[in-house]
Amino acid sequence: MNNVLLTGGTGYIGSHTCLILLKQGFKVIVLDSCISSSSKSLEGVKKVFGKDWDSFSDKLQFIKGDINNFGLLKQLFQENILLGEPIDGVIHFAGLKSVKDSIIKPIEYWESNVMGTINLIKVMNLFSCYKIIFSSSATIYGINKGEKIKETSDISPVNPYGSTKATVERLLQDTYLSDKSKWSIMKLRYFNPIGAHASGLIGESPLQSPNNIFPLLMDVAAGRKKELKIFGNDWDTFDGTCIRDYVHVMDLAEAHVKSFEYLFSTEPACISINIGTGKGTSVLELINVFKKVNLVDIKFSFTSRRKGDLSCVVADNSKAKEVLGWNPTRNLSDMCRDGWKWKKSNPYGYK
């Protein structure tokens, strides 16, 4: 196994995963429409290799295109077969990801996230490529009582974005059940990825104004925003602000490599796994660690709760440890330091 297709591979998590796969000796084909990311992230990946890039340059191919384009996908799989290097597996990052937008434009979300995946699975089936890792999300879980979330917890998404992720999980489960001797499927349920590669050469670069806390917090630190509005200080948590499970994007990227190792060394299966550190951090704690590690000021004020927010979302990550042998190695200080290094050197992201 060494030829991997990354749909949505120029995005935040995709580009970090691409870097690790190349370093591990994989040949990587990135397919991305770039409607919400920039192919300049791949230039950043090349810069991380520096002088060594020459020996990797034939290992990375970028194709601009949409997963809803059946003909293009077919051509891609076919070409690689003709070259004698069939695509061995797919990591499927492509999709729309804003909760807010999904409420305004649900059809676009269903079309991109669900129909796009159906298209991809059809083409994979056509070319006998049966290994896929899917970017799922902790968003699919329903309201929890504050305890760590297990993979067996209720699936009950509260917005269209979450519904599309839960539906694709179901679709993949049905695909697996259609022939249990064929498909090897890993559904990774991400908690809150933040940070950047330690070089500061690749990182998160939202094309639209961000809604997530980490890019907003860095905008405040960089003086591009006056203050951070904290959504509520009356939650039933120790300091009144919401608790989340922040995970370093490089640890998350490594989980994909571990997942491939698993899928290629075991019997066909369809598995869901939480990818989080298992440690909860409040909004105020995140701000304080960021300030301390980076010696910057972050102005904030409290405002009312955001609709749809939950008090506490933390992973039980024991399955990731047991099944994949995945152990996050970077702590919150690393996430804050690496994220800030990226932001300081690239205040406008890839723009």
137 is an interface residue for ligand UD1 by CB under 6 A: yes
In the list 142, 308, 325, 347, the residue contacting ligand UD1 (rule: CB under 6 A) is 308
Q: Per CB under 6 A, which of residues 146..165 are in contact with ligand UD1?
A: 161
Question: Residues in contact with ligand UD1, total (CB under 6 A)?
Answer: 20
- Which residues 77-136 are close enough to bind ligand UD1 by CB under 6 A? 99
Helix axes 160-178, 116-126, angle to 10 degrees: 20
Beta strand pairing call for 281-282 and 243-244: antiparallel
| 205 scored as a contact of ligand UD1 (CB under 6 A) | no
- Asked if 142 interacts with ligand UD1 (CB under 6 A), we say no
- Contact pick of 128, 178, 211, 304 for ligand UD1 (by CB under 6 A): 211
Dihedrals phi, psi of 321, to nearest 5 degrees? -70, -45
Contact between 59 and ligand UD1 by CB under 6 A: the answer reads no
Q: Which stretch binds ligand UD1 (CB under 6 A): 51-59, 61-69, 79-87, 223-231?
A: 223-231
Residue in the block written with tokens 């891609």: 76
314 binds ligand UD1 (CB under 6 A): no
Please tell me which residue in 12, 109, 141, 161 is annotated as part of the active site: 161
Q: Provide the mask over 282-301, with x wherever binding to ligand UD1 is found by CB under 6 A and - wherever it is not.
A: -x------------------
- Which span (211-219, 265-273, 290-298, 342-350) binds ligand UD1, by CB under 6 A? 211-219
Q: Which of 127, 120, 131, 172 is nearest to 266 (CA)?
A: 131
The residue with its CB nearest to ligand UD1 is 242
> Measured from the CB of residue 33, what is the shortest distance to ligand UD1 in angstroms?
19
Question: Judged by CB, which is closer to ligand UD1: 3, or 281?
Answer: 281
Return the residue of 40, 229, 279, 291 that touches ligand UD1, per CB under 6 A: 229
Residue 176 known to be catalytic? no
CA-to-CA distance for 46 and 201, rounded, in angstroms? Answer: 9
Q: Decide whether 89 or 116 has the Cβ nearer to ligand UD1.
A: 116
Judging by beta carbons within 10 Å of its beta carbon (0-12, 13-18, 19+), is residue 73 exposed, middle or buried?
A: buried
Which one of the spans 70-78, 85-93, 206-214, 319-327 is the region binding ligand UD1 (CB under 6 A)? 206-214
78 vs 311 by CB, closer to ligand UD1: 311
Query: Helix 283-294 to helix 213-221 angle, to the nearest 10 degrees?
Result: 40
The reply on whether position 302 binds ligand UD1 by CB under 6 A is no
Question: Which residues inside 266-285 make contact with ligand UD1, applying CB under 6 A?
Answer: 283
Least spacing, CB of residue 312 vs ligand UD1, in Å:
9
**Residues lying near ligand UD1 in the complex (CB under 6 A):** 99, 137, 139, 161, 192, 211-213, 216, 228-231, 242, 244, 283, 306, 308-309, 313
Residues belonging to the active site = 161
